[in-house]
Amino acid sequence: MDHNVQTNVHTNVKTVTVQLPQGEITGTRLAQVSRFSSVPYAQPAVGPLRFAPPVPARWAGTLDATQPMPVCPQLASRLRGVMGDFQAQQSEDCLRLTVWTPSADTRKRPVVIWLHGGAWQSGGGAVDWYDGARLAARGDIVVVGVNYRLAALGWLYVPGETANVGLLDEEAAIRWVVEHIAHFGGDPEQITLMGHSAGAFNIAAMLTRQPQFQRAILHSASLGRGFREAKQAAYLSGVFLKAAGAEDLAQARSLPLEALFAAQQSPAVAQALKEEGANRSLFCPVVDGEIFPSPVEPLMQTACAAVDVLVGSTLNEMAAFPGMSINEQSQQLGEQIFRAPGRQWATNARTSGRQAWSFSFDYAPNPEVGACHCIDLPFVFGNLDAFAHAPMLRGMVAEHAALLVDQLQTAWIEFVHGRSPGWEMAPAVKVFK
């Protein structure tokens, strides 16, 4: 049980206090876990720090970690037609993380750091969809949900300026976890990074650098799209900045968010992206020559050997995206972008001497969208209630869903604890349906 648990007599809310080197941090004691919300791992990326690499957070005294975490400013997700939508405060002061722990004691539990997807443009680390309480309680693990900068704020590429700062945010959050998680009952030497889509691709990209984690779970990583080359990224950024009304990054630092959002949706940017013809997001990791040297492909090949992995995808990935349905073309595209490269990553990892497992999530309660991109996430987190209005789950049978939650969580927790998830290693593929 946590130390220093107190109950507010006015609200009947139990709080728990943890002592960190820089001061006290006060979280909320829930039924089975303690939650420490909106903990800053970097300073607010505003003013001169907008578009700049993250600077470690500074605070002293007592930190209130009982309030919800804001998400990075963003436009609505293009996948809300299948996932539904979420409500959350938005703020550029978003370089924060949330910790769920069975107990903030001296036990050394395995740690899962969650990196959300959203095409590098939307999402948040601790929205209700990704509440880590159930996973933490069931697995006796510490779960950490991380925000990172999105869209132009995190991924705009201007030659001569630091690129990929959204990825640097994620690495800064991991460093914070390594340095502080022991105070929350976690083991800094047993860290699994778990990511979906853009978040999963970022994990793979981090494995080309100096990863501070021991295992990785990749859900629907868009490994088949790869990085954007610097020349093309610079061209798109130039079109973007012009549409936003800025001549350079210095001017863009003082623009209101509305100008950045307007540029993101401008006809000129849409046309430039269409001309690229790569069917990829406006923002993504860039081969900038510094964070990611060119050529990056050989590094990605050797990255497969860096950590043990659990890698998978859904049966009908592309059916989630606007304008797509389940047909031969969309299935081929899903195979090319998500499925085949994921299986190959696991196979390469295994060949390199790593433990590696593959999975496919094929459960398709709504035949219109099938087993689409994102449909596995409610089952991994066990948060079916948070996805109650998600069109992708329409037609779901409660008993079947509960069985899938049990199967996925059991397997994922075993992997996080350093054991087999329960089936043969790659190239074998475990199908959940």
Just list the catalytic residues: 197, 317, 373
pLDDT for res 82 = 87
The closest of 177, 201, 165, 230 to 303, measured between CA atoms, is 201
Any domain includes 211: yes
387 within 8 A of 378, measured Cβ to Cβ: yes
Which tokens in the block code for residue 364?
A: 């398709």
Any domain includes 264: no
d(CA 114, CA 325): 29
Any domain includes 419: yes
pLDDT for res 177 = 98
Say how many CA atoms lie within 13 Å of 227 toward its Cβ. Answer: 28
Distance of CA 227 to the CA centre of its chain: 17
Strand ranges, E, within 74-206? 96-101, 109-115, 142-146, 186-196
Any domain includes 361: yes
The tally of domains found in the chain comes to 1
* CATH (domain of 395): 3.40.50.1820
Strand pairing report for 142-146 and 96-101: antiparallel
Q: Which domain holds residue 173?
A: 33-61+68-151+163-224+302-432
Which tokens in the block code for residue 218?
A: 């990749």
- Tens-level pLDDT at each residue, the chain (433 residues): 566 766 554 455 799 999 999 899 999 999 999 999 999 999 999 999 999 999 999 998 999 999 999 999 998 888 888 888 888 899 999 999 999 999 999 999 999 999 999 999 999 998 999 999 999 999 999 999 999 999 999 999 999 999 999 999 999 999 999 999 999 999 999 999 999 999 999 999 999 999 999 999 999 999 999 899 999 999 999 999 999 999 999 999 999 999 999 999 999 999 999 999 887 899 999 999 999 998 999 999 999 999 999 999 999 999 999 889 999 999 999 999 999 999 999 999 999 999 999 999 999 999 999 999 999 999 999 999 999 999 999 999 999 999 999 999 999 999 999 999 999 999 999 999 9
Q: Both ends of the chain: CA-CA distance in Å?
A: 37
Sequential DSSP letters for 40-90: ESB----GGGTTSPP-B----EEEE--SPPPBPP-PPPTTHHHH------B
**What pTM, to 2 d.p., does this model score?**
0.95
Any domain includes 245: no
The closest of 226, 262, 225 to 241, measured between CA atoms, is 262
Any domain includes 355: yes
